[in-house]
Amino acid sequence: MQAKETRRLMKTARMLLIAVLLATVLGCANLTATQQRVLSGSAIGATAGIGAAALFGGPIVVGAVTGAAAGAVGGIVIDQIEKSH
């Protein structure tokens, strides 16, 4: 991979990470516990997906979307577990 493309990918990854973190911080006001868990799971998943895509050379956006979807499902599962106790 060329240095210019690597810098572009890293810049894109940083911008996505900042956007996810900002959305998480700003979006948590007045949410139910379920909504908070889903949002937190999505943010964590998106961050992990971006990291995995950057590490393995895949498309950053695909990593972010896939990770966010998996994190949202994880948040729902955790919420259901918490409610059952």
Tell me the pLDDT tens digit for each residue of 4-18.
888 888 888 888 778
pLDDT band with cut points at 50, 70 and 90 for residue 1: low
Average pLDDT over residues 49-72: 91
Domain residue extents for the chain: 3-84
Average pLDDT over residues 27-37: 82
Q: CA–CA separation, 42 vs 49, rounded Å?
A: 10
Question: Who wins on pLDDT, 22 or 74?
Answer: 74
pLDDT at residue 73, as a whole number: 96
- Give the CA dihedral 43, 12, 48, 57, nearest 10 degrees: 160
pLDDT at residue 79, as a whole number: 93
